[in-house]
């Protein structure tokens, strides 16, 4: 559905997000039965679960919205541990297949992308230079914004969006990079749009920015010379309007609950909107029947088959 006045297809953006959320979960957990053609079994789950789920839904939201808003925009991802999301989008767009002939738009390609994630001699668990478009090893937080300004340096035609984790934003490097806007003259350099991913949590607790008020964050951002643009990542239409109405010196504050679209709680511990969704939210899915069923229900919630049939033609 083409939104009147927006010029983008909001339904398509939501489909891309849903597709990539499923694919992020499947990469982290599955070694078989990738389309859930039969009930999920312990044998379908990878023996060593190693990946980061919590940040993925927010990355998928940012990626799909930015691509739809400006297809030529460069996207720089700070939290490289959200690699399943980045990889899912590259596969969805056909970019991965351009560089890796095994990443085909069929069941074989889907199986390849999922099974080889965080697998011996397969894909790493974090973004790395083997990923198309990635030049730095993901894993060390803090340098994304500096890289974004570097990409815009001396290139007035460049438009660079940079997603920064709110935990990453606590690093000295990320904070100091906010001053780079004072060194890049708009006439001779490209445009950089920092996007703070406010999902409120890092590895094992809340982020400082997640506990600050809207007023404090607005003042912080203004103090560095940017104009805050607040976005609830769950509302694609609002996100698109916000992007289209961005001021010249925009700093986007994108809120998403950490682990959004995942299981809500496990054994009384809150998962969505909490640090407990940071890595693998169902750590015993390979041996615990109730966690396996939770995983199955979680995967089924995306209605992936319908999206996949359209994708694979």
Ligand X SMILES: Cc1ncc(C[n+]2csc(CCOP(=O)(O)OP(=O)(O)O)c2C)c(N)n1
- Residue nearer to ligand X on the CB measure, 51 or 109: 51
Among 207, 261, 274, 291, the residue binding ligand X under the rule CB under 6 A is 207
Report in angstroms how near the CB of residue 55 gets to ligand X at its nearest: 3
Report in angstroms how near the CB of residue 39 gets to ligand X at its nearest: 31
Backbone angles phi, psi at 279, to 5 degrees: -105, -105
CA 244 to chain centre: 21
Cα–Cα distances in Å, from 71 out to 29, 217, 223, 253?
31, 29, 31, 21
- Residue nearer to ligand X on the CB measure, 100 or 168: 168
SS3 305: helix
Report in angstroms how near the CB of residue 59 gets to ligand X at its nearest: 8
Q: Are 28 and 80 in contact (CB under 8 A)?
A: no
Contact between 167 and ligand X per CB under 6 A:
yes
Mark 69-88 with x for binding to ligand X (rule: CB under 6 A) and - for no binding.
----------x-x-------
Task: Give the Cα separation of 102 and 295 in Å (integer).
Answer: 27
| Binding to ligand X in span 261-280, by CB under 6 A | 278
Contact between 116 and ligand X per CB under 6 A:
no
Contact between 55 and ligand X per CB under 6 A:
yes
Among 133, 139, 206, 228, the residue binding ligand X under the rule CB under 6 A is 139
Q: Pick from 66, 304, 55, 15: which is nearest to 201 by CA?
A: 55
Task: Give the Cα separation of 258 and 50 in Å (integer).
Answer: 18
Among 60, 171, 177, 236, the residue binding ligand X under the rule CB under 6 A is 171
Crossing angle of the two packed helices 304-312 and 107-115, in degrees rounded to 10? 120
Q: Are 250 and 261 in contact (CB under 8 A)?
A: no
- Residue nearer to ligand X on the CB measure, 231 or 307: 231
Which of the stretches 9-17, 23-31, 139-147, 227-235 binds ligand X when contact is defined by CB under 6 A? 139-147
Chain residues in the site for ligand X (CB under 6 A): 54-55, 79, 81, 139-142, 165-168, 171, 197, 199, 201-203, 207, 258, 278
């Amino acid at each position: 559905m083409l939104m009147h006045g927006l010029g983008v297809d909001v339904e398509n953006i939501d489909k891309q997000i849903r597709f990539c959320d499923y694919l992020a979960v499947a990469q982290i957990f599955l070694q078989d039965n990738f389309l859930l053609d039969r009930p999920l079994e312990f044998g379908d789950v990878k023996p060593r679960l190693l990946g980061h789920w919590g940040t993925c839904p927010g990355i998928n939201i940012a990626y799909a919205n930015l691509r739809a808003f400006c297809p030529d925009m460069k996207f720089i991802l700070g939290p490289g541990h959200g690699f399943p999301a980045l990889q899912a989008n590259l596969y969805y767009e056909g970019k991965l297949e351009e560089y890796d002939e095994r990443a085909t738009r069929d069941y074989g390609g889907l199986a390849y992308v999922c099974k080889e994630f965080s697998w011996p001699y397969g894909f790493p668990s974090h973004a790395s230079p083997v990923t198309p478009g990635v030049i730095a090893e993901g894993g060390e937080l803090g340098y994304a914004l500096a890289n974004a300004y570097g990409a815009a340096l001396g290139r007035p035609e460049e438009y660079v969006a940079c997603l920064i984790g709110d935990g990453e934003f606590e690093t000295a490097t990320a904070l100091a990079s906010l001053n780079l806007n004072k060194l890049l003259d708009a006439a001779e350099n490209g445009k950089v749009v920092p996007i703070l991913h406010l999902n409120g949590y890092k590895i094992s607790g809340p982020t400082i920015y997640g506990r600050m008020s809207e007023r404090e964050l607005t003042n912080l951002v203004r103090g560095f010379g940017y104009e805050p643009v607040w976005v609830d990542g769950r509302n694609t239409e609002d996100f698109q309007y916000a992007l289209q109405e961005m001021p010249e010196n925009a700093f986007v504050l994108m809120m998403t609950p950490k682990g959004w679209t995942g299981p809500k709680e496990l054994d009384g511990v809150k998962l969505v909107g909490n640090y407990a969704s940071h890595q693998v939210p169902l750590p015993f899915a390979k041996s615990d029947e109730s966690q396996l069923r939770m995983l199955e229900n979680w995967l089924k919630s995306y209605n992936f088959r319908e999206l996949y049939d359209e994708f694979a033609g």
